[in-house]
Amino acid sequence: MSHEPARPKYQRIADDLRASIDRGEYQPGDRLPGENSLAADFGVAPLTVRQALGLLRAEGLVDSRKGSGVFVQSFRPIRRRGIHRLRRDGWGSGQTIWSADDDRSPDVDQINVHEDVAPPEHIARVLGLADEETSCVRGRRYSMDGRPVMLATSYLPQTLVAGSPITQAETGPGGIYARLADLGHEPVRFREEIRSRMPTGEEAARLSIPADRTVLKLVRTAFDAEGRVVEINDMTLDSAAYVLDYEFDA
Amino acid sequence: MSHEPARPKYQRIADDLRASIDRGEYQPGDRLPGENSLAADFGVAPLTVRQALGLLRAEGLVDSRKGSGVFVQSFRPIRRRGIHRLRRDGWGSGQTIWSADDDRSPDVDQINVHEDVAPPEHIARVLGLADEETSCVRGRRYSMDGRPVMLATSYLPQTLVAGSPITQAETGPGGIYARLADLGHEPVRFREEIRSRMPTGEEAARLSIPADRTVLKLVRTAFDAEGRVVEINDMTLDSAAYVLDYEFDA
DNA sequence: CAGTGGTCTAGACCACCAA
DNA sequence: TGGTGGTCTAGACCACTGC
């Protein structure tokens, strides 16, 4: 008889609370009992309950507000489609694994544009910049229902975009890809690379997420018809807010 | 004069250690000083150092072994290409954001096949199964250099694959997609959906990851030429082990 | 058997929020 | 002003590793 190694208390408590939330005993927006109260209920020390809540918070299931309490996150992830393409009729509808909000337009703030900036080394390399060559950097933040969900920073070769609307805060209809097309460098191919890591202090602050919630780094590289890299968009996503979606033919 | 709210000690210590690792002061495989030693160095309590190490462990930067120490993870993520397509010459080479191992073949174990299984409700819905209709379930685990990196479970309609090699552990050259083609249901289109969440206890155990390391859920849905869903592959990835890569035309 | 990390306890002080 | 979560301390016991 092989007895399983006991799963630690704090993990069992996390599983308990997660199950309660999944069963709907706590609805989105509801406040969980206080830590001391939970500690008494489960018969453990407050710190043990804190560890359990830490797992749920890192996961994005709950959101704890200092001085107020721990609240169940309303979980409606955003579906981000990486490949936009007309769908044949009858395909795709209702056949996704996770329900998620689709095609809603987020609010944008913290827009800033800087010209003649030396980008990070790994960006400069992929952009194919020569030594001393600079870039135009466009930053912004996206929010959904008042909740920040993504930071994005675009890097473009300075020599390519100097004097164009791309160096302005407002780039006009179609955005910077339309303006790149105006300049004869329409993006025709993209690469998106995705990794998971901890947020920096600044990222956590701007996204209003706890320090132990991982973010998804999503870096989109845009190529023009000659195969030149014309833009790199470095995105930082709240990992609890998104479902990424890619569709493609065999 | 707005003074920034002080970043907590444990986060500053985590940043310190992360920077030391990035600078190469600790090489992959190296053992970090013990918790008590670090606590003395930083002038804080052992638990505070533990919190800092917890962040690095959740991130996958370090790996702590009970009774032995905390070791820097050798960081060589695996590049998983979601879209296989011939690249035009000169594209893509050396232009990726993150360096990663490419096209290495992982080891596979924990292979199991079960027929006539009732799949989870959300799988049954996407598979388009009628009530009581069952599926064939194929599970396996992938490892790289002895380190488990991914769990995968495929669900196929039982009526579609009954009696075919798909119900065997060994499916033959080309795998189950080739066998589906033999059956007249070649997959011609795919959807991949990606989410981040905490591992279950079983997932953490099979992947040998700590309970606070997020996993990436990657669910691939395969459609045949008639638009029927012929397979769902539910994958669980160690988020610290992978770079996901998608390339596509505008 | 000495040292390590994993878990857990008891309790302190603080900033913040709501009544 | 009382309760909340956030941080931090001091210390206990255990399982495991490696000498």
pLDDT at res. B172? 81
**Predicted confidence (pLDDT) at residue A155 exceeds the cutoff of 70:** yes
B10 touches strand D (CB under 7 A): yes
- Scanning every strand, the nucleotide with its C1' closest to B63's CA turns out to be C5
Tokens linked to A79: 């579906």
A66 touches strand D (CB under 7 A): yes
Distance B75 CA to C9 C1' (A): 37
- Is B78-245 the same fold as B9-72? no
- Scanning every strand, the nucleotide with its C1' closest to B66's CA turns out to be C5
Tens of pLDDT, residue by residue over B170-220, are: 888 878 888 999 999 999 889 999 999 999 999 999 999 999 999 999 999
Q: Do B187 and A250 touch (CB under 8 A)?
A: yes
A211 touches strand D (CB under 7 A): yes
| Test mutation, B9, B61, B191, chain A, max A CBs within 10 A | B191
Nearest CA in chain B to A198: B59
Residue B241's φ and ψ, nearest 5 degrees, are -100, -10
What are the chain B neighbours of A216 within 8 Å (beta carbons)? 196
Average pLDDT over residues B60-78: 89
Average pLDDT over residues A56-63: 94
Q: Do A246 and B192 touch (CB under 8 A)?
A: yes
pLDDT at res. B97? 66
Among residues of chain B, what percentage have pLDDT more than 70? Answer: 91
**Predicted confidence (pLDDT) at residue A194 exceeds the cutoff of 50:** yes
What are the chain A neighbours of B198 within 8 Å (beta carbons)? 55, 58-59
Tens of pLDDT, residue by residue over A201-232, are: 999 999 999 999 999 999 999 999 999 999 99
**Predicted confidence (pLDDT) at residue B86 exceeds the cutoff of 60:** no
What pTM was computed for the model? 0.90
Among residues of chain B, what percentage have pLDDT more than 90? Answer: 64
Q: Which of the residue ranges A50-54, A119-123, B71-75 would you say has the lowest mean pLDDT?
A: B71-75
Distance, in angstroms, between A52 CA and closest chain B CA?
Answer: 10
**Predicted confidence (pLDDT) at residue B19 exceeds the cutoff of 50:** yes
Do β-strands B147-157 and A229-238 pair in parallel, antiparallel, or remain unpaired?
Answer: unpaired
Tens of pLDDT, residue by residue over A159-169, are: 999 999 999 98
pLDDT at res. B55? 94
Using the C1' atom of nucleotide C18, identify the protein residue whose alpha carbon is closest.
Answer: A68
By the 8 A CB rule, do B153 and B137 touch?
yes
Average pLDDT over residues B213-235: 95
- Scanning every strand, the nucleotide with its C1' closest to A36's CA turns out to be D4
Tokens linked to A217: 């780094």
Q: Strand C: which residues 184-223 of B lie within 7 A (CB)?
A: 210-211
Q: What is d(CA A30, CA A77) in angstroms, rounded to the nearest whole number? A: 18
Tens of pLDDT, residue by residue over B239-249, are: 999 999 998 88
Nearest CA in chain A to B197: A59
**Predicted confidence (pLDDT) at residue B2 exceeds the cutoff of 60:** no
CATH architecture designation of domain A78-245: 3-Layer(aba) Sandwich (3.40)
- 3-state DSSP of chain B: CCCCCCCCHHHHHHHHHHHHHHCCCCCCCCECCCHHHHHHHHCCCHHHHHHHHHHHHHHCCEEEECCCEEEECCCCCEEEECCCCCCCCCCCCCCCCCCCEECCCCEEEEEEEEEEECCCHHHHHHHCCCCCCCEEEEEEEEEECCEEEEEEEEEEEHHHHCCCHHHCCCCCCCHHHHHHHHCCCCCCEEEEEEEEECCCHHHHHHHCCCCCCCEEEEEEEEECCCCCEEEEEEEEEECCCEEEEEEEEC
CATH topology of domain B9-72: Arc Repressor Mutant, subunit A (1.10.10)
Tell me which of A146 and A134 has the higher pLDDT. Answer: A134
pLDDT band at B87 (very low <50, low <70, confident <90, very high): very low
pLDDT at res. B100? 67
Average pLDDT over residues A120-147: 93
Among residues of chain A, what percentage have pLDDT more than 90? Answer: 64
pLDDT at res. A247? 87
pLDDT at res. B101? 66
pLDDT at res. A131? 86
What are the chain A neighbours of B243 within 8 Å (beta carbons)? 193-195
Q: How many CB pairs under 8 A join A and B?
A: 164
Domain limits, chain B:
9-72, 78-245
pLDDT at res. A103? 60
Distance B37 CA to D16 C1' (A): 20
Distance, in angstroms, between B232 CA and closest chain A CA?
Answer: 10
Q: Which of the residue ranges A155-159, B42-46, B230-234 would you say has the lowest mean pLDDT?
A: B42-46
* 3-class secondary-structure state, position A222: strand
Q: Which of the residue ranges A34-38, A123-127, A181-185 would you say has the lowest mean pLDDT?
A: A34-38
* Contacting residues for A60 by C-beta, under 8 A, at least 6 apart: A73, A75, A213, A238, A239, A240, A241
What is the average pLDDT score of chain A? 88
Average pLDDT over residues B80-92: 55
Tens of pLDDT, residue by residue over B95-153, are: 676 776 666 778 899 999 999 999 999 999 999 999 889 999 999 999 988 899 999 99
Using the C1' atom of nucleotide D16, identify the protein residue whose alpha carbon is closest.
Answer: B67
pLDDT at res. B54? 94
Nearest CA in chain B to A247: B191
Positions in chain D where some atom is under 7 Å from a protein CB? 2-11, 15-18
Tens of pLDDT, residue by residue over A83-127, are: 754 343 334 444 676 776 666 778 899 999 999 999 999 999 999
pLDDT at res. B171? 86
